[in-house]
Amino acid sequence: MAKITIDELNKIKAEHQQLVMVRKVIKEQGEELAKQTGYRKQVLVCGGTGCTSSGSKKVLAALDEELEKNGIKDEILVVRTGCFGLCSLGPIMIVYPEGSFYSQTTPEGIKKIVKEHLVEGNVVKDLLYKETVHSDGSILSLSETPFYKNQLRIALRNCGVIDPEKIEEYIAVDGYQALAKALTTMTPEEVINEVKKSGLRGRGGGGFPTGLKWSFAKASTGDIKYVACNADEGDPGAFMDRSILEGDPQCIIEAMAIAGYAIGANHGFVYVRAEYPIAVERLSIAIEQAREKGFLGKDIFGSGFDFDLEIRLGAGAFVCGEETALMTSIEGNRGEPRPRPPFPAVKGLFGKPTVLNNVETYANIAQIILNGSDWYASMGTEGSKGTKVFALGGKINNVGLVEVPMGTTLRTIVEEIGGGVPNGKKFKAAQTGGPSGGCIPSEYIDTPIDYDSLIKIGSMMGSGGMIILDEDTCMVDIAKFYLEFTVDESCGKCTPCRIGTRKLLQYLEKITEGKGEDKDLEDIDDLATHMQKSSLCALGQTAPNPILSTMKFFKDEYIEHIQNKTCPAGVCKSLIKYEIVADKCRGCTLCARNCPVKAISGTVKQPHVIDPDKCIKCGVCMSNCKFGAIITK
C-alpha cells in the first residue's frame, strides 16, 4: 500500500480538476475549459441501476460505434456516471459543456445526436428532456428545471457528475481533503464536536444524533473498535443508499475513515445487500483504488493512523437493517436482533464498541468537516439540520431520486419537484418510512418534511422512501401490502412480532374479503399497542404503523369495507362486482370471447350478462369493452 501526502493529494486534484469542472460550468466558460482539457465535448451516460435496466449499456455501445465511425473518438470523452435523479427518463445522457440533457435515449437516437450535435454542433432539441426546452425554443440548464431548482444536493453532490470508478475524479472535487484535514489538523474530539454541532442526525430511520453516537463509542473502553456502514436498504421503493454507492462510493470510504479516527477504530465493514451488484462492484473498485493511493492502510497522511475496510454481503433480509441484526449477520450468524442495552457503541461487532451509520449519513460527513458545522447547521429546521434524500415513487410524474433541505413541504416535493400526479388524478396520500412508516393524507400536504413534523402526524422519516398515492388507491389494501412484507421479513425471534404481524395481516385479509366486523378495528388497535411495547426490535415495534395511520386518516374506508362490503377505490377484488349496462352493450361478444372462465353469456347484437358466481374479477372484460358498457360496483 502506498503512502499519500497532502502535496500529492493536491497535485492529483490540480491535474483532474478542470476535466470535472467542465460538467459544472456551461456555456462560454465551459467552452473555454473544454478546450484546455483536450476534449471538445464530454458525454455523460447514467450507469446507475435504473438506467442500466432501461438499456444504457446498449446506448454506450452505440455511442462508441458512432464516435469511431465519424472519426471523433479522441475528441469526445465518454463517462459512465451515477444516477442523475430523473430515473423515469432513462437512459439519460448529458453532453457538456452545453449541458444538453437527452432523455430516454436509444441506439437509434445516438446516431442522430452524434451526427448533428457532436459532429455538426447543433443540439437535437426533439430528443432533449422536454422541461429543458423553453417555449421560445431556447434551452434551459438542468438546474433551472422544476425538478432540480428546489433541490440542494449534498449527499448526492457527485452523483451524475463524476466517474465513480476513477478515484482521480473524486479527488478533483475535493475528495479526501476532509480526511487530510481531520488527520493532520484536528483531534478526534474536535472531529466529534464538529459533527455534533452540525446537528446531523442518522438518516437510516431513527434520527439519532450522529455526533452523540460517535462520542459514546469514543468514550467506551476497548482494545479494538469498529466502524460499520449499513447499506442494507430494504424498504420497498427505496434506492437512496444504492444510488450513492453506485455514483460516489469514495465519499463513504472517506467518511468511514474519519469516523474510525474519531472513535479510535482501525477497521470497518460495509454491509451491503447482494441484490445491488453495480453498487458492490463499484465499491469494491473504490476500496482497491483507495488502498493503492494510500487513503486506506497504514499511517494515512503520515498521521500514524491506520484504517482499512471490507465488504460483507447480505442476503436481502429486511431485519438486517436493524443495527444489532446487521452486526450479528456480519459476525457470520443468522441475522436476528439482540436486546439493547448494551448498545453497539458499548458492545457491538464481535462484542467490541462499534459505530454504525447508514450510507446517506456518511455521505454528509466529509462536507461537514470541510465546510464546518455552522455551514451545515444553517440548512434545514431547528430539530432537523441539513438535507434529506428521498426515493420518489408511486403515482408521480417524476419518479426518481431527490435531495431537499429539511423542512421542505410535501407540496413542494409532490407538485413542483415530482411534477404532480399523472393523468389528472388527485393526490391522496404520501407513504413515508416504508413498512415502519405511515401515510400523510392530502390535508397535510403543506407539512414540512422533518423528523418531528412527521412523527406528530403519525408517520416517520425512515430511510427516505416516499411513495405517492392517488385517488384510485385503497388505503386498506396499502396497509395490507406493508403487512404482507413485514410478515415475510420478520425473523421470528420474538413472539409479539412473529405472531402479531401475522394476526394483523389476518384482520386485514378478513376486511378486504368482505368478512370484517366492527370489533376488528378495536382488536387491531389493541394488538398494535402490545406489539409496539413488547417487540424486541424496531421491525415489530413499527410494523403496525401503516395500519394505525390509515385507520386514523382513512377510517371511513375501513368502515366502507366492513359495514357496506364495498371498496371505494375498486381495488379489493372480493368486494368488486362487474356488471354490464344493457343500454350500452352492443352485443359484440368481445367480452364473452375473452372471458377466461366463460362467465359472460349472450347472443350477437343483444345485451350480455355476467354470472357473478363464475366471475373471477380479473377485469379482462372491462379492458376489452369498446363501448364502456362494463362497470364495477
In a domain, 154, yes or no: no
Helix (H), strand (E) counts: the chain? 26, 17
Q: Among 449, 473, 497, give the residue marking a domain's end.
A: 473
In a domain, 50, yes or no: yes
587 plus 439 within the same structural domain? no
591 plus 537 within the same structural domain? no
441 plus 488 within the same structural domain? no
State the pLDDT at residue 53: 93
pLDDT level of residue 328 (50, 70, 90 thresholds): very high
In a domain, 149, yes or no: no
Give the tens place of pLDDT for each residue, 335-377. 999 999 999 999 999 999 999 999 999 999 999 999 999 999 9
> Phi and psi (nearest 5°) for 614?
-90, -25
In a domain, 220, yes or no: yes
State the pLDDT at residue 464: 85
585 plus 554 within the same structural domain? no
DSSP string covering 137-170: S-B--GGGSHHHHT---STTTTTTTS-TT-HHHH
Q: Among 563, 595, 614, give the residue marking a domain's end.
A: 563
pLDDT level of residue 27 (50, 70, 90 thresholds): low
Whole-prediction pTM: 0.92
In a domain, 320, yes or no: yes
Contacts of 489-493 spanning 24+ positions with Cβ under 8 A: 489/234, 489/317, 489/318, 489/319, 489/435, 489/539, 490/319, 490/539, 490/540, 490/543, 491/317, 491/319, 491/325, 491/334, 491/335, 491/336, 491/337, 491/539, 493/336, 493/337, 493/536
DSSP string covering 576-607: --EEE-TTT-----HHHHH-TT--EE--TTS-
Q: Pull the grid cell for residue 386.
A: 441539513
Give the tens place of pLDDT for each residue, 517-563. 999 999 999 999 999 999 999 899 999 999 999 999 999 999 999 99
pLDDT level of residue 30 (50, 70, 90 thresholds): low
> Among residues 363, 356, 370, which one has the least CA distance to residue 164?
363
Residue 80 C-beta-side C-alpha neighbours within 13 Å? 18
Q: At what angle do helices 249-263 and 188-198 cross, to 10 degrees?
A: 120
Weakest mean pLDDT among 140-144, 197-201, 486-490: 140-144
Residue 526 sits in a domain whose CATH number is: 1.20.1440.230
Q: Pull the grid cell for residue 186.
A: 484536528
How far is C-alpha 133 from the chain's CA centre?
28
DSSP string covering 459-490: ---TTSEEEEEETT--HHHHHHHHHHHHHHH-
pLDDT at 1 over 70: no
pLDDT level of residue 140 (50, 70, 90 thresholds): confident
pLDDT at 33 over 80: no
102 pairs with which residues across the strands?
A: 93, 128
Mean pLDDT of 58-72: 96
Residue 322 sits in a domain whose CATH number is: 3.40.50.11540
State the pLDDT at residue 458: 83
467 pairs with which residues across the strands?
A: 393, 431
Strands 226-231 and 354-358: parallel
211 plus 185 within the same structural domain? yes
Residue 420 sits in a domain whose CATH number is: 3.10.20.600
Within a 10 A sphere around the Cβ of 189, how many other Cβ atoms? 11
249 plus 341 within the same structural domain? yes
224 plus 364 within the same structural domain? yes
Residue-range definition of the domain harbouring residue 466: 387-473
State the pLDDT at residue 235: 84
In a domain, 165, yes or no: no
Residue 66 sits in a domain whose CATH number is: 3.40.30.10
pLDDT level of residue 570 (50, 70, 90 thresholds): confident
In a domain, 1, yes or no: no
Which residues in 614-625 are b (16+ Cβ under 10 Å) and which e?
A: ebebeebbbeeb
What does the alpha-carbon distance between residue 401 and residue 405 come to, in Å, rounded to a whole number? 14
Q: Among 377, 405, 432, give the residue marking a domain's end.
A: 377
What does the alpha-carbon distance between residue 104 and residue 102 come to, in Å, rounded to a whole number? 7
What does the alpha-carbon distance between residue 467 and residue 392 come to, in Å, rounded to a whole number? 6
Mean pLDDT of 91-110: 95
Residue indicated by cell numbers 386518516: 553
In a domain, 500, yes or no: yes
pLDDT at 36 over 90: no
391 plus 461 within the same structural domain? yes
456 plus 483 within the same structural domain? no
The overall average pLDDT reported for the chain is 94
588 plus 599 within the same structural domain? yes
Query: Domain tally for the chain?
Result: 5
285 plus 413 within the same structural domain? no
Q: Are 436 and 428 in contact (CB under 8 A)?
A: no
State the pLDDT at residue 28: 59
* H runs (alpha helix) in 23-100: 27-37, 49-54, 56-69
Give the tens place of pLDDT for each residue, 204-224. 878 899 999 999 999 999 899
C-alpha distances in Å from residue 530, one per residue of 313, 540, 541, 549, 552: 34, 10, 9, 16, 18
348 plus 317 within the same structural domain? yes
How far is C-alpha 26 from the chain's CA centre?
28
